[in-house]
Amino acid sequence: MRLTFNGSPREHDPAPDDTAAEVIRTAFGATGTKVSCGAGVCGACTILVDGEPKVSCLLPAAHLDGASVTTVEGVGGDHPVQRAFVECDALQCGFCTPGFVTEAVAFHDRWRKERDEPPSREEVAGALTGHLCRCGAYENILTAVQKACAGAFDDREPVPARVEAPDKVTGAARYTVDVVLDGMLHGAIVRSAQPHARVSFELPEPSVLLLDGGVVRYTGQPIAAVAAETPAAARALADSVRIAYEPLPSVVDPEEARRPDAPVVFEGDQRRNAPSSAEGSGFPGRWKGNVRSGYPSAWRGRTARRRLDAAEERKAPGYFAATFTTAGQSHTALEPHVTVADWRADGLTIHTSTQGLPHIKAAAAKRWSPPRVEVIAHHVGGGFGSKLSLGADAVAAVELSRKTGRPVKVEMSRAEELTDTGYRPGTRSELRMLGTPTGGLAAIALDVSGHGGVSTGSMVATLGLMMYGRGPRHFRDRDVIGNAPPASPFRGPGGPPFAWAVEQGVDEIAHRLGADPLKLRRTWDGNVRRRALYEIAGELPLWRDRPAPGQTGRYRRGVGAAAANWIYTADLDTKVELTVRDGRIVARTATQDIGTGVRTVIRNAVREVFPDAEIVVELGSADAPHGPVAGGSRSTASVGPAARDAATKLAGHLGGKPVGEAEGVSVLGQRPKDRGGSAVPVSMDHLRIGRGLAGAVHVTEVEVDTLLGRTRVVRVWGGIAVGTVFSRQTARNQCEGGIIQGIGYALYEERVTDPRTGVVLSANLEDYRLPGIADTPEMTIHFHEDGWDHVPGGGVGLGEVCTISVAASVANAVFNATGFRPLDLPIRPDRLLEGMAR
C-alpha cells in the first residue's frame, strides 16, 4: 500500500491482520501513538486518517491505502491545542495524551473553521468521549481545549505547568512500551487455564519456568515464559504449550470459600507462600480453612462490644449496624506492565514501567546477582500501586534475556493486565457503631473480610485506630482466600473500603439523630486539620443548601460528605544531586514520575533558590543518588526538601556568583529530618512514618434519575489538609484525578470473576468501566496549608488521602437524594433501582 504518513510518502505491505497502530509503531517507528486497551475503547491510539480521528488499534492497516495519515508527531509541537495542554496541565502520566491531543486538534480545527464562539464543556466532552484518562486529568483537558478554541494560544508560547509536558504532548516522551533494542526478542507468558490443579508440561526453547512448585492456584497464574522474534510468534509459541492439568477442588467465590467445608486453597506450610497485597509485611494472622484472621486491634474492645450489644438491645437511636461490600478495583494504568531486560556479561539493564526504581534495583540485585544493575523508567504510564515490585513481566524478561543472550521485551496484554497485575481487594465489612450527638463516638466495631484471591494482607478495619478520637473500639481484619488472582496495593490501601463503611455509618447516625453530619464529625474527630476542613465545608453553599430528605419526583439531587485521613510518610534517605552543566542546573535522583509531577516538585524547589536559572530534572535512572519509591504518598515530602537542601548548598557554594560561572560544580542535597522526630524512629525499607495525619473532606452533589437508576456526580468540593503545597497546579490536578477515580470506584468499576472457572470476566475496558470525560463533575480543591511546620518544607504528600473518602461521599449524597443507603459498591443502576423499590 501507499500512503502519506505525516506529510511524507510511504510504502508498506501489511499482513491482513495487521492493525494501523502496529504498523505505525513498529514499521514506521512512530511511537507517539500508544496502544492501551486494544479494543477501541480508550482512544490512546487515535490517529487522523484524511483528517478524521480514528482508533488505530482496530483499524486494519490495509485500509490506510491511499490515505493521508497524521499522528501526534505529525501535528508538530506548536499547535494551539498542544500549547494549551502544556500550560493548562491537561495530563498526568501522559500515556493517553497523544490520543487526546490528536482528537482535540481535529476538533479544534473544525470548530474554528465553522464557529466563532468557543465550545461548551459539554461539546468538548462529547467530542472527546472516546478517550479515557486513568489519572483523571479531565478537568484540565476540558479547559485546555476550550481555551485553545477561544484562540488563547494562537500566538504565544505556553508556560509549562509541569516540566515534561512538552515531551508528552508531542509524543516525544518515551515509555517502556516504546523501548526497542537491537536484536530484541519478545516474550509471552504461559498461564494456567484452570483455577486449581497439579500441572505438568514440556516447555519449548527458549523458555523459563515461572511457577514455583507444580500446583497452580488461580486461572491466569503464570507458569512459564517463552521468547520469539515477534510478539505474535511469542504468543503462538506460548499457546502451543500443552499443559496437562490434574484438577484439584477449587473455590473462587469468597462467600463459598469462607464455609467450613470449602476446598482449601493453601494447606499447612503452603500458607507461608501466599502472596501479600499489603505494602510491607502485612499483619500476622491465624488460619482456619481459607480464612486468615488477624488479631483484633482494639482500644477498650470489650467495652465497645458491651456498649454495642446494649445499644442494639434497647434500640438506641444512635446505633447503626450494617454489612457493606465493595468490589475489587483494578488499577488499569494505561501503560501496561512491561519490561525490556538486557543481560550482558558486564551487567543487567532493566527498562521497566515501575513506580519503584530503587525497589526493582535492589530486588534484581538480590535475585540474580549480576555484576551491575541499571534500572530505567524515563516515563511511566500510571501505576496507582500496581507497579511497586518485581512482576511477572520483569522476571520473565530478565530470565529470558539471561538465557538467550539477547534483550527481551515482555509486555502484558490488556486482558493480562486486568487479570493478573493486582487489584484493590473486594471486601465485606460488618459495621456496628454507636454515636451520640454531643458525647462523641461511644463505640465502634468493624470486622472486615478482604477478598484478594490467593493473596493475604487486606487491611481495612485496623485503619479505624486513626479515626474519630479515642472511644472504645474493636477492629479485626481477615482475608478470605480463594482460587482467584492475587490483589496488590492500590492508592491508599484499605482506605476507600474503610470509608465506604464507616463514613456511611457516621452519615447514617447523623441522619438518625437529626444531626448535621459535618458538625457531628467535628464533635467526634480530634484531628485539628480535619476539624478545620469540617468548618470550611460546613459553610459552603453546596453544603448549607443541601436538600432536605424525603424528595419526590424523578430526578433528585443530594449532597453528601465524607472524611479521610492517611499516614504521613517520607523517605528520609532521599538525596538530590545538583550539577551545573552547560550553564544549566541539572537535578538528579533515583525516582520516577508516574504522573504525579515529581519532576515539577523538584524544579519548583530549586527554582525558589535560583529563580532565573534554567533547571533540568533528570529522573528515571536507578544509577542516580537514592530517591523514593512512588508509594505511600511519600515522594513530594521526600524530594521537595532534599532538592531545596541541595539548592541551598549550591547557592552557598556559588557565594553569589552566577550559575554560568560554576560549570561542573556538583552538590548533594539530603532530606532533612523532621523537627521533633518521627512517629516511628526507624525507617523500614527507606520508609519513615512521620508525625501527624494528612486529612481530607469531600462534599459531593449528585443527581439521581430514579427511573433509569443513573447517578450523576454534579459537583465535588475537596478539602485537602497536607500543609504547604509544593506544586500547586499539578497537586490540584492530582486531587481532581483522585475524585475521578473515587467516582469510578463508587459508580462504575467492578472486577467480575466467574465463580466456577475463576476467569476474570472484566478483563477489557468495555466490561471494566473507567470514568469518562463526560462524567467529570465541577470540582473545587481547597488546600488547608496549616499544621505541618515540623516537616521540612511544611507539607506532606496527598496522592492517597485525596481519593479515599470520595466514594463514601457519593454514597451519602445518593442517600440524601433518595433515602436509599447503598451498602454495596459500585452503585450500579440495577442496585439503585432495586434498593429504592424495597
Partner 1 sequence: MTAEYRAGGTDLMERRASGRSTGPLIDLYDRDLRSIDRTPDGGFRAGAMVTVDTLATDPALTTAYPALALTAGALATPQIRRAATLGGVLLQRTRCRYYRSEHYECLKTGGTGCPARGNPGERAVVLDVGPCVAPHPSSVALALLAYDADAEIEDQQPRKVADLYGDGARDHLLGDGELLTAIVLPPPAEGEKAGYKRAIGRASAEWPLAEAVARLTVGDGVVVRAGVAVGGVAAVPLRLPDVERALVGQPPSQELFARAARLGWTPAFPETAYKIPLTETLIADVLAQAL
**Which spans of this chain sit near partner 1 (rule: CB under 8 A)?**
16-17, 19, 38-41, 43, 46, 52-55, 57-60, 62-63, 65, 103, 125-127, 129-130, 193, 219, 415, 707-710, 712, 747-748, 752, 754-757, 759, 761-764, 766-767, 769, 771-772, 774-775, 828-830, 833-834
125 vs 735 by CB, closer to partner 1: 125
54 vs 387 by CB, closer to partner 1: 54
9: left (phi over 0), alpha (psi -120 to 50) or beta: beta
215 vs 774 by CB, closer to partner 1: 774
**Torsion angles phi and psi, residue 219, rounded to 5:** -70, 125
CB of 131 to partner 1, least distance (A): 8
CB of 260 to partner 1, least distance (A): 24
Closest CA to 189 of 488, 394, 482: 394
CB of 485 to partner 1, least distance (A): 13
365 vs 833 by CB, closer to partner 1: 833
172 vs 761 by CB, closer to partner 1: 761
- Give the burial class of 1: count Cβ atoms within 10 A of its Cβ; 0-12 exposed, 13-18 middle, 19 or more buried: middle
CB of 104 to partner 1, least distance (A): 12
CB of 420 to partner 1, least distance (A): 13
Letter for the amino acid at 652? Answer: G
For residue 206, cis peptide bond before it (omega within 30 degrees of 0): yes
Residue 341 sits at the vertex; the CA angle it makes with 337 and 344, to the nearest 5 degrees, is: 170
CB 634, CB 598: distance < 8 Å: no
**CA–CA distance, 292 with 480 (Å, rounded to integer):** 6
CB of 700 to partner 1, least distance (A): 16
- Give the burial class of 82: count Cβ atoms within 10 A of its Cβ; 0-12 exposed, 13-18 middle, 19 or more buried: buried
What are the grid coordinates assigned to 68, written together?
A: 493521508
In the block, residue with C-alpha cell 490512546: 44
**What is the DSSP annotation of 603-625?**
HHHHHHH-TTS-EEEE-SBTTSS
Residue 545 three-state SS? coil
CB of 738 to partner 1, least distance (A): 18
CB of 237 to partner 1, least distance (A): 15
Q: Is the dihedral of CA 206, 209, 210, 214 positive or negative?
A: positive
For residue 268, the tally of other CB atoms under 10 A from its CB is 8
The dihedral formed by the CA atoms of 295, 425, 471 and 303, expressed in degrees to the nearest 10: -40
Q: What is the CA radius of gyration of the chain?
A: 26
591 vs 776 by CB, closer to partner 1: 776
CB of 662 to partner 1, least distance (A): 51
CB of 327 to partner 1, least distance (A): 13
86 vs 127 by CB, closer to partner 1: 127
Give start and end residues of each alpha helix (H) in 443-578. Answer: 495-513, 517-524, 528-538, 541-544
For residue 263, cis peptide bond before it (omega within 30 degrees of 0): no
Residue 510 three-state SS? helix
166 vs 453 by CB, closer to partner 1: 453
193 vs 243 by CB, closer to partner 1: 193
CB of 704 to partner 1, least distance (A): 12
52 vs 789 by CB, closer to partner 1: 52
CB 703, CB 556: distance < 8 Å: yes
CB of 188 to partner 1, least distance (A): 14
39 vs 651 by CB, closer to partner 1: 39
602 vs 763 by CB, closer to partner 1: 763
Rounded to a whole number of angstroms, the distance between the first and last alpha carbons of the chain is 61
CB of 249 to partner 1, least distance (A): 18
Query: Residue 320 gets which letter from DSSP?
Result: E
59 vs 629 by CB, closer to partner 1: 59
Sequence-distant (≥ 6) Cβ neighbours of residue 514 within 8 angstroms: none
352 vs 700 by CB, closer to partner 1: 700
In the block, residue with C-alpha cell 502485612: 282
Cα separations in angstroms, 614 against 515, 763, 798: 55, 45, 28
**CA–CA distance, 518 with 533 (Å, rounded to integer):** 9
CB of 769 to partner 1, least distance (A): 6
CB of 34 to partner 1, least distance (A): 14
For residue 204, the tally of other CB atoms under 10 A from its CB is 14
**CA–CA distance, 39 with 765 (Å, rounded to integer):** 8
**What is the DSSP annotation of 625-690?**
SB---S-TT-HHHHHHHHHHHHHHHHHHHHTT--GGG-TT-EEEEE-PPPTT--SSSS-BTTBEEE
Residue 714 three-state SS? strand
CB of 182 to partner 1, least distance (A): 28
**CA–CA distance, 476 with 462 (Å, rounded to integer):** 6
What are the grid coordinates assigned to 677, written together?
A: 522526630
58 vs 609 by CB, closer to partner 1: 58
CB of 550 to partner 1, least distance (A): 22
193 vs 241 by CB, closer to partner 1: 193
Run of H or E residues at 142: helix 138-149
129 vs 551 by CB, closer to partner 1: 129
What are the grid coordinates assigned to 513, written together?
A: 439523630
446 vs 763 by CB, closer to partner 1: 763
Closest CA to 82 of 57, 121, 108: 108
Residue 803 three-state SS? helix
CB of 252 to partner 1, least distance (A): 11
Residue 277 sits at the vertex; the CA angle it makes with 276 and 279, to the nearest 5 degrees, is: 100
Task: For helices 80-88 and 138-149, give the axis angle rounded to 10 degrees.
Answer: 140
